[in-house]
Structures are given as C-alpha cells and as structure tokens.
Homo-oligomer: A and B are copies of this chain.
C-alpha cells in the first residue's frame, strides 16, 4: 500500500509510491558524461581556473595575497543588479519591483576537476566560511530581505560550468514559500512551545533509521517525507535561525558532515547531479525561537512532472528508510 507522508515542519505531503518502488541501488548513475575526476586538473578555457580570473568581476578572495583558496566573483550574467534603487510599481495585474540584489559565484577551489566530495575537509570549511562572510556583507544592504545560498552540481542540477562553485543570491523580497514555512513553524511553536526542527532532530536521532551521519554539532538524515530519492536535511543541534550566526566550530562540523554525506552520494551513486541549499530566516526577522537554519541535499535522480507542478505534492519512488540505510552502508575509500 502506498503512503502519503507529511513533513512535520513544512506540512508538505509526498507520496511514497511503494507499488512502483525502486531499490536505492537502481539509482546508481549510468553516466553519459565523464566523472569529475576524469576532467583535466586545469582548463585553459575555464574562467574559474587560476590564471584565467576575470578580475573586474572579483568581489573578494582568500587569502588576499599568494595563491587563492576561494574566490567570490559577481555572476557574469546576474539574475539581479547590484546597483539601482528599490522601486515598487503595483498596477493591477502588473506588480513589480526593480530587480536589485546580489548574484555572486563562490569559486570553491583552484583545482578544476574536484568537488566537495573529493576536497579536504578544510577546503569545504573554507567554502562555508566564505558563505557566512558574504551573507554578513550583503545583509548590511538595507534593500536585502532574503539570502539564498546554494550549489548546483552536474547538468541535471542546473550547473553550466564544471569548475566547483556555489552561488549566493540576495533578494529584495521574502519569497512566499519562505513566509509559508516560517508561518508553519510559528504555528507549531504556538501549539507546543517547541521549535519544530528541534523536535524533528530529536525524533530522528531517537528513531535512528533515517540518520545518515552525525557529529558534534550536526545530524544528517533522509527525510521521513523525502520528496525525492535520498533527499536529506542537515540540522544543527544548537537552535539558531539565521545561517549568519553559525559559529566557527559549527562551520568545521558542518563541513565535515556535508563532505561525509556528499562522499556517500559520490561513491554510492556514482557522482549524480545534486543541489545543496541553505535554509535561513529572512534577514530582517532577527533571531527566531521557532525557525531553525538547516541545509538540504537534493540528488536530482527523478523528474518533476505535471502532477508535481499541478499539486505541489511529489511522488517519491523510493523508501526513505532504505535510502538512508543505503547511504550508511556505502564503502568510502
């Protein structure tokens, strides 16, 4: 019998389609493109490789002198413009705001053919350090309401360049979806006096069957109501609502667990495409007792079709507990 499962925090339903269920190992990628490791170490045509830097786009680099470890550049084809006034124009059906904001690319590593799964832990740590730094910087701009930190890995996940990179987009609005999630979290808090994410973390640790990895500051688990195969959340033990207030030790711990989960995905599923997303509270909300910052890992192994577009409900053809067990058991070299 299929099941409809509800995510306790977002209240979104998914169908766990047991009648069409596929075993997790059915998702091991049959690659048509080379593995990242098979690419050249350096690509003369890559704008992110050392020596090819487009310096007019550079925002910052670490370290500031000598060979860089991470760089932040303005996106060459930005979705939003840095300069300009925030102007609203609401005229009947035509409601618009000028597209001001930030669209930055974080070059994660000098080497062309690596990825977060293959880097040293300290390299992943440097990436998240730079995330936090850019978040703090753009949040000072009074036009900014929401920061979205994300990574697209692989063509199916929307990556157009192979050199390892992440992105930061800072918006002059709070998206409706984020407002809805804040509202659901607030209602849970009003009903129970608890943060719903703290509750999920507690329950998942106690149950154990969906946990993929855990360390001092973080827990990674496949969601009970995973909307797609291997869909996982990485939650901090400490309650905080904005990614900008993450501590140094927590960043190290986050780098370790993200790298661990991505290595399990890389070796277990043969380097599939995935997205990484940081969920954080709106910039002007201040610290919230009912919302909890976290990171989502979303391998792109299934496709959203008409049903998902028409209902917002996903059909997941795998059993989340089996996906978690599969990832736990991956043999990592």
Contacts of A325 in B (CB 8 A): none
Which secondary structure characterizes the binding site on chain A?
mixed
Which of B4, B17, B167, B303 is the one whose CB lies under 8 Å from A306?
B167
Q: Does A199 contact B (CB under 8 A)?
A: yes
Q: Does A151 contact B (CB under 8 A)?
A: yes
Q: A306-B157, A309-B298 are in contact. Are A99 and B15 (CB under 8 A)?
A: yes
Number of copies: 2
- Which of A88-96, A105-113, A211-219, A256-264 contacts its partner? A88-96
- In the bound assembly, the distance between CA atoms of A11 and B279 in angstroms comes to 20
**Contact, CB under 8 Å: A315 / B79:** yes
Q: Mark A268-293, 1 if CB is under 8 A from B, else 0.
A: 00000001111100000000000000
- In the bound assembly, the distance between CA atoms of A203 and B94 in angstroms comes to 9
Contacts of A151 in B (CB 8 A): 306
Q: Does A28 contact B (CB under 8 A)?
A: no
Enumerate A9-29 residues with CB–CB distance to B below 8 Å: 10-13, 15-20
**Contact, CB under 8 Å: B81 / A2:** yes
Q: A4-B97, A5-B95 are in contact. Are A79 and B279 (CB under 8 A)?
A: no
- Which of A42-50, A123-131, A176-184 contacts its partner? A176-184
Q: Does A8 contact B (CB under 8 A)?
A: yes
**Contact, CB under 8 Å: A148 / B311:** yes
How far apart are A193's CB and chain B's nearest CB, in angstroms? 15
Contacts of A171 in B (CB 8 A): 4, 311, 313
Interface on A for B, CB 8 Å cutoff?
A: 1-6, 8, 10-13, 15-20, 77-81, 84, 92-100, 146, 148-152, 156-159, 167, 169, 171-173, 175-178, 180, 199-200, 203-204, 207, 224-225, 275-279, 296, 298, 303-307, 309-313, 315
Contacts of A176 in B (CB 8 A): 10-13, 180, 312
Report the nearest B residue to A4, measured CB to CB.
B97
Of A4, A20, A224, the most chain B CB neighbours within 10 A belong to A4
**Contact, CB under 8 Å: A305 / B203:** no
- In the bound assembly, the distance between CA atoms of A224 and B276 in angstroms comes to 30
Contacts of A279 in B (CB 8 A): 310
How far apart are A130's CB and chain B's nearest CB, in angstroms? 16
Contacts of A178 in B (CB 8 A): 311-312
